[in-house]
Chain A
Amino acid sequence: MNLMIKTDNLEKVYRTEEVQTKALNHVSLTVEQGEFVAIMGPSGCGKSTLLNLLGLLDEPDGGSLQLLGTETSRYSERQRAELRKRSLGFVFQSFNLIDELTVFENVELPLRYLGVGAAERRQRVEQVLEKMQLLHRRNHFPLQLSGGQQQRVAVARAVVNAPPLLLADEPTGNLDSASGHDVLGLLTELNEAGTTVLMVTHSEHDARYARRVIRLLDGQVVLENSRSQF
């Protein structure tokens, strides 16, 4: 099996003028291709920080981070953007759709950044919207949709460029249980189709969809177990 993620002593420190907070303290972990991993822990344990680092949305203060077999901790801004747009998909708790763009345009965005031609964009976006049962909403704006629908759009956007790695930060946090179940079902489907999924959650219920759980406390990995060990 190929390694999707490998971190070694990953560190992140937040500094204000007077206080230094270690958000991540020597975190070492590996995620293999095709896995569905949940990262759990109480508020403030560093889950989101870890996900931001793994998604190259933030820079580590120490340690190494290999994504898809390449070391990224010294990547330039441009290289990180390049890797993000080719290989990573994001789903956020607060959906993070752009309010001024329609459903179609939101989903289309990653393809625009990849430089995909208009005709192919249209085809791929329609394909993924159909799969998410959102095609009839294509010209709506995010604020005209329910929370569950918005998150489905976000998932569609995350997978439209078929990234090998999908990062989800509390994807059900703002949803009712039915919509949450819906979204988790989508993630599972994607995982079964071959996408590696890494999900941050503090819901034990959600974590059950994953095959492995990594638990964090105060910026450190305290426990790793696979579903059979629950």
Chain B
Amino acid sequence: MLPYPLLLLYRNFKRFKSTFFINLIGLSTGLACALLIYLWISDERSFDRYHALDGRLYQVMENRRTAAGIETQGGTMPLLAEALRREMPEIELVATTTPVPFFPPFTLAAGGRQLTAVPKYADPAFFQLFSYPLLVGTPATVLQDKHAMVLSEALATKLFGSAQRSLGKAVKWQMAADSMQTSLVAGVFAGVPRNSSEQFDFVLPFASFKDRMQMSETIKWDDDGPFTTYLALKEGADPAQFQAKLAGLLKTKSAQAQAQGRTLFMRPFAAGYLHGTYENGVATGGRIVYVRLFALIAGLILVIASINFMNLFTAKASRRVKEVGIRKALGASRAALVGQYLTESVVMALLALVVAVGLVQLVLPQFSELTGKPLALRWEPQVVAAGLALALGTGLLAGSYPAFYLSGFQPAAVLKGKLPTKAGDVWTRQGLVVLQFTLSVLFIVAVVVVNAQLAFVQRQPLGYDKAHVLRFDTGGKAARQQTAFLAEVKKLAGVVQASTVLGGFLGGRHVEEMSWRGKRLPVGTMLVNYDLLETMGMHLVAGRSFAPQFRADSAAIIVNQSLVAGLGMPDPVGQQFDGRRIVGVVRDFHYESLHEKIKPLLLQLDPSINTVLVKLQPGAEQATIARLQQLYAAYNPGFTLDYTFLDADYQAQYVAERRVAVLARYFAGLAILISALGLLGLAAFTAERRRKEIGIRKTLGASELGIVWLLTGSLTWLVVVAIVLALPLSYLLMQRWLEGFAYRVAWQWWYFAAAGLGALLIAWLTVSVQAWRAARRNPVLSLRAE
């Protein structure tokens, strides 16, 4: 024997099969979407939160006043950690480290094996601050010795076969073209979890980096640096007080720092991942924007699915309303009836949850690929609770309106089985359909705009040619003999041109304020080799490129148009700027993503750089790459060349947008599917309710087409109203999204037309199927049924 609510649901299902399936499909796809988004969001929120000191763990950040407003950076001066430890008693632990993107992977050699791995330099407190459990070694001492190194378990296993065996072993390593050094393995850590914002393979003492760079032994407060400083406050220390103390620190230490408006502040370490963006010194979001956006989308899809339930439930109310009368006559209170209908909808939602879990399992592999996260549906209490909460919330939301609507009738009025028509009910039902379609149109416009912007990103002239450009970092002998290696690369068949550039071609540049004739301007610097402009197909608008025959080029620079315009330089070539001579002006090019405006930039010659760009002849790429591999192996035996195509690097800048585009497409599809299902159900009931009317009209000579129009007409108007509402709304929302791009596609009238027409077509197709069926029915049967 089934429990009573389930029994009722089962009998209702038998009576209204199509409604049941429409509701089940709608609610379960809605819940499946919400569950997927929940998995994604909870993964996003788990980033950097696994450290034991989380809550007391902070990163020291710096604000700096510039002509363009306050700039916020995570980079701090070297030796800040030591100074803070001395001066701030509230601090329990503090460490300066090098950020992972700072170095290309190092070359490591041990036990006859050679490989590349990602390094990080850190102060001794690093393994106490962060919870990377040590399999070998103790956190407090493992980085004490300057010649120590700590490997990840995976790296230790690759080099020595196991973590235990690696202890005390010597590893030779090389930072780019620098000389070979040797460290002894002092510890092994379990590895960096996937949900860490930084991924690295081994840690070296920051002290050894300090020695190598011949940094001063005492902190210079005027210094500027790319180093990241992390601290943990003592338990009980007041973060707000400490924050205030930190903010006042620089101006007491350095007049120059005070003049530049530099202040330190700290932000919770775990917040960096989701709240990484600052505008004019204020945190403005970051990835959290997408977390919120997707949470909103999940909510909206559940609302759309719930609306189906509400509409179908109240539409079939005419059939159930008599039951309400009977139950009330038998003494059911309104609360009991509300309870009954809510139970029914919650049970329905729970049933949908079961189906949704199946759907999630089914699409999880694709969803994981799409989001770039290996997500899994695990039976953890949190996940189960979230699923149940979602289903319960949806059930209550979906059931609330029908429950209060149905239970509100006077029993005498409904006992005869006739539904008293209140104008308000019709309005509510129609309002819900309008809301549904408004959201659907919104999704369609979003899909169109996101895709248009992505197409724009592909189309936009970049000021360089990103096609057929290979990028790789050299190490070992190839790095030490950079010039010779590059010369040989250029001679290879299939290579058009080659050059090097610091840190790769794409990405933000180190910015410093520079002045010219009293005008100050923040200027980015790109360290480049000969032939970069030629390799990248960039255009000179004045002057010349760097060339080896001009000895003085080591003190020469090439600037971009933005710099010339920013300073208002009338005749830039030959001018002295920041102590260097301008030899050429390059046409503005997008060295950052289109989110960013092209900023003033200077190119400075530095032939020692290790990130190589090679322009290949199209058509024979594979053969050319094989030759490159061969050449590289000749310089560095046993190494393979890890290369990427610049085009792929370029696309990688828009990974988030591309994900949004794909997800928006899916969600829009689902929203429309669910809305259309609801409309289908509603149309069926309208046809049913007006069966007699249709019979009479046909008897009086109405054509089938006339009947179809009669039934589709009213619903058409609802969709039209939805379109009218959705268009301005979608404009506002998508304009906000577009504003995240400095270079964006212009709005086209057809974006709206396509979305509106699409929604209208879908609605028509859905409704007309029902309408045709109703119109073709034999009127005699309809009339006799009455």
What residues of chain A have their CB less than 8 Å away from a CB belonging to chain B? Answer: 49, 52, 55, 57-59, 77-78, 81-82, 84-86, 88, 90, 92, 94, 96-101, 109-110, 113-114, 157
Considering the complex, which residues of chain B in the window 311-342 have a beta carbon less than 8 Å from any beta carbon of chain A?
322-323, 325-336
Say whether B329 contacts A77, CB under 8 Å.
no
Which listed residue (B8, B12, B15, B415) contacts A57, Cβ 8 A? B415
Residue picked from B323, B331, B411, B417, most chain A C-beta under 10 Å = B331
Considering the complex, which residues of chain B in the window 101-129 have a beta carbon less than 8 Å from any beta carbon of chain A?
none
Taking A109-B327, A113-B332, A157-B330 as contacts, is the C-beta distance between A59 and B415 under 8 angstroms? Answer: no
A90 to B325, CA, bound (A): 11
Say whether A100 contacts B334, CB under 8 Å.
no
Say whether B15 contacts A59, CB under 8 Å.
no
Cβ of B138 under 8 Å from chain A: no
Shortest distance from the beta carbon of A63 to any chain B beta carbon, whole Å: 17
Which listed residue (B326, B335, B336, B411) contacts A98, Cβ 8 A? B326
Shortest distance from the beta carbon of A43 to any chain B beta carbon, whole Å: 14
Say whether A86 contacts B331, CB under 8 Å.
yes
Cβ of B194 under 8 Å from chain A: no
A100 to B8, CA, bound (A): 7
A115 to B327, CA, bound (A): 14
A-B contact pairs, 15 of them (CB 8 A): A55-B329, A55-B412, A78-B333, A81-B332, A81-B334, A84-B330, A85-B332, A90-B329, A94-B417, A96-B325, A96-B415, A98-B327, A99-B15, A100-B323, A113-B330
What residues of chain B have their CB less than 8 Å away from a CB belonging to chain A? Answer: 8, 11-12, 15, 322-323, 325-336, 410-413, 415-417
Interface majority SS (helix, strand, loop, mixed), chain B: helix
Say whether A109 contacts B330, CB under 8 Å.
yes
Shortest distance from the beta carbon of A161 to any chain B beta carbon, whole Å: 8
Residues of A within 8 A of B328 (CB): 57, 81, 84
Residues of A within 8 A of B336 (CB): 81, 113
Say whether A100 contacts B11, CB under 8 Å.
yes
A114 to B322, CA, bound (A): 21
Say whether A77 contacts B334, CB under 8 Å.
yes
A49 to B416, CA, bound (A): 12
A84 to B329, CA, bound (A): 7
Residues of B within 8 A of A49 (CB): 412
A110 to B327, CA, bound (A): 8
Taking A100-B11, A113-B336 as contacts, is the C-beta distance between A81 and B412 under 8 angstroms? Answer: no
Residues of B within 8 A of A101 (CB): 11
Residues of A within 8 A of B11 (CB): 100-101
Known A94-B417, A113-B333; 15 more pairs at CB < 8 Å = A49-B412, A52-B411, A55-B329, A57-B329, A78-B333, A81-B334, A82-B333, A88-B331, A92-B415, A94-B416, A96-B325, A96-B415, A99-B15, A101-B11, A113-B332
A85 to B326, CA, bound (A): 12
Say whether B12 contacts A52, CB under 8 Å.
no
Residues of B within 8 A of A96 (CB): 322, 325-326, 329, 415
Say whether A52 contacts B412, CB under 8 Å.
yes
Say whether B330 contacts A110, CB under 8 Å.
yes
Taking A84-B328, A96-B325, A100-B12 as contacts, is the C-beta distance between A58 and B413 under 8 angstroms? Answer: yes
Taking A58-B413, A100-B12 as contacts, is the C-beta distance between A85 and B322 under 8 angstroms? Answer: no
Shortest distance from the beta carbon of A23 to any chain B beta carbon, whole Å: 11
CB-nearest residue of chain B to A157: B330
Shortest distance from the beta carbon of B694 to any chain A beta carbon, whole Å: 25
Shortest distance from the beta carbon of A60 to any chain B beta carbon, whole Å: 11
Residues of A within 8 A of B326 (CB): 96-98
A97 to B334, CA, bound (A): 19
A77 to B549, CA, bound (A): 99
Say whether B333 contacts A81, CB under 8 Å.
yes
Say whether A84 contacts B412, CB under 8 Å.
no
CB-nearest residue of chain A to B407: A77
Say whether B330 contacts A85, CB under 8 Å.
yes
Residues of A within 8 A of B330 (CB): 84-85, 90, 109-110, 113, 157
CB-nearest residue of chain B to A115: B336
Residue picked from B336, B411, B413, most chain A C-beta under 10 Å = B411
CB-nearest residue of chain B to A96: B326
Shortest distance from the beta carbon of A160 to any chain B beta carbon, whole Å: 10
Residues of B within 8 A of A86 (CB): 331
A108 to B240, CA, bound (A): 65
Which listed residue (B331, B413, B417) contacts A110, Cβ 8 A? B331
Pairs A-B, 7 closest by C-beta atoms: A85-B331, A58-B412, A52-B412, A100-B11, A57-B412, A81-B333, A57-B411
Shortest distance from the beta carbon of A53 to any chain B beta carbon, whole Å: 8
CB-nearest residue of chain A to B413: A58
CB-nearest residue of chain B to A52: B412
CB-nearest residue of chain A to B323: A98
A59 to B328, CA, bound (A): 14
A58 to B414, CA, bound (A): 11
Residues of A within 8 A of B329 (CB): 55, 57, 84, 90, 96
Residues of B within 8 A of A100 (CB): 8, 11-12, 15, 323
CB-nearest residue of chain A to B410: A58
A172 to B411, CA, bound (A): 21
Residues of A within 8 A of B335 (CB): 78
Shortest distance from the beta carbon of A21 to any chain B beta carbon, whole Å: 15
Residues of B within 8 A of A55 (CB): 329, 412
A169 to B411, CA, bound (A): 14
Residues of A within 8 A of B12 (CB): 100
Residues of B within 8 A of A98 (CB): 323, 326-327
A124 to B671, CA, bound (A): 51
Residues of B within 8 A of A99 (CB): 15
Residues of A within 8 A of B327 (CB): 98, 109, 113
Shortest distance from the beta carbon of B6 to any chain A beta carbon, whole Å: 13
Residues of A within 8 A of B411 (CB): 52, 57-58
Say whether B412 contacts A82, CB under 8 Å.
no
Residues of A within 8 A of B322 (CB): 96
